[in-house]
Structure formats: structure tokens, C-alpha cells
Amino acid sequence: MKLTSKAEKRIFLQDYLKNEMIEGVEIIQLKRFNDDGGSFTELGRLSAGIPESLPGFEVKQVNYSEMAPNAIKAFHIHRSQTDVWFVPPKDKILLILADLREGSPTEAVIMRIPLGDCNSRLIKIPPGVAHGCKNIAGEKGQIIYFVNQIFSADPAISDEGRLPWDFFGPDIWEVEKG
């Protein structure tokens, strides 16, 4: 079929291939069980604080966060703490990850991962990978996350560093159109 010349000049193919993974980031698909009365998702089975699906990761603290629609929480980075995030399936939050580890095989790689949006999965974020998120749903969104260190607000011992929300450019937060 012949298209108009204007369409022919502007047509492109969307890339549906997986984006490059950052070394150490893990995406664990969870089972979600549905029936006519609702749903159930198992976030993890623990043995001495270590989730079965994340060998070597010992849970030391569990946190819950809420985000207003269109809110951006960016960017956090840890030198030794690992985070494991879960966003409930009814919510939709865009997670941005950036490998800032000097010498890493995936140094400077940026990942964009929509969380929630009917999916049930855990995302493991290793130390040195900056992470931030934007609630791209029209209502309040929730994040449940597990960490392997106890949080301290004391600047002398806190492992949480911050980068400006636009460190990777303000367009990083835009929903991709296409």
C-alpha cells in the first residue's frame, strides 16, 4: 500500500526490544493470584531475613512511601545500601535508574522501568545506581521497599546521597510518546 509522502517521511518503527540492563539490577517477576473476590501477591519468603528470590540480600528495614500524582522523588544514591522496590499493580510509577559506578561495565547506562501498571515484580537496585521515580498515574501512588541497612538521618553516618531532580536532564521524566 502506498502512503502519503508526508506520512512516508515521518514514519518510524518503535523499538520493542529490551533496554540495556544495568549490572546488578534484578527484576523479579512475582506471581499474582486473582479470583472473583480479589487478588493476592506474595512479596517474599524469608529465611533469617533473606528473601528466597534474592540470595545474599538481608532485609534490615521495610518502608512504605506515598506519592501525589505527578510528584517526582529524585535522585537518591547509596554507597553501600541495596534497595528492593515493589509498586502495587493498581499504581503506575516510572522508575529511573542510572549506573554511576566508575568503571562499571554498564557505567552511564540509564534504565526507565514503569512499575505497577498491572505488573507484580520486585526491582533490586544495587549501591552506586542512582534511582528516582515519578508517579505517572492520576491518583496517589504507593511504594513498598526493603533495604539491607537501617536508615539514619544523621549526616555523619547516613548512606543516602541526593542528586538534583534534573541531573540527567528534565526530559528524563517525560512519558515517552510514540
Q: How confident is the model at residue 1 (pLDDT cuts 50, 70, 90)?
A: confident
Kindly state whether residue 158 falls inside one of the protein's structural domains: no
Kindly state whether residue 99 falls inside one of the protein's structural domains: yes
Cβ pair 38, 81 in contact under 8 A = no
Position 11 scores a pLDDT of 85
Query: Does position 172 have pLDDT exceeding 80, yes or no?
Result: yes
Kindly state whether residue 112 falls inside one of the protein's structural domains: yes
- Among the ranges given (11-15, 60-64, 107-111), the one the predictor scored with the smallest mean pLDDT: 11-15
Kindly state whether residue 9 falls inside one of the protein's structural domains: no
Across the range 126-131, mean pLDDT stands at 98
Kindly state whether residue 37 falls inside one of the protein's structural domains: no
Position 18 scores a pLDDT of 66
The fraction of the chain above a pLDDT of 90, given in percent, is: 87
Kindly state whether residue 8 falls inside one of the protein's structural domains: no
Position 19 scores a pLDDT of 75
The fraction of the chain above a pLDDT of 70, given in percent, is: 98
Query: Does position 157 have pLDDT exceeding 80, yes or no?
Result: yes
Per-residue model confidence as pLDDT tens digits over 45-97: 999 999 999 999 999 999 999 999 999 999 999 999 999 999 999 999 999 99
Position 146 scores a pLDDT of 97
- The CATH code of the domain that includes 112 is 2.60.120.10
Q: How far apart are CA 102 and CA 127, in angstroms?
A: 12
Query: Does position 155 have pLDDT exceeding 70, yes or no?
Result: yes
**Paired residues of 110 in beta bridges:** 98
Position 169 scores a pLDDT of 96
Q: Which residue has the cell 515521518?
A: 10
CB count within 10 Å of CB 98 equals: 22
Which H/E stretch holds residue 76? strand 72-78
Q: How far apart are CA 91 and CA 60, in angstroms?
A: 25
Cβ pair 132, 96 in contact under 8 A = yes
Position 178 scores a pLDDT of 66
Kindly state whether residue 128 falls inside one of the protein's structural domains: yes
**Count of domains forming the chain:** 1
81: containing domain:
24-32+57-150
Kindly state whether residue 11 falls inside one of the protein's structural domains: no
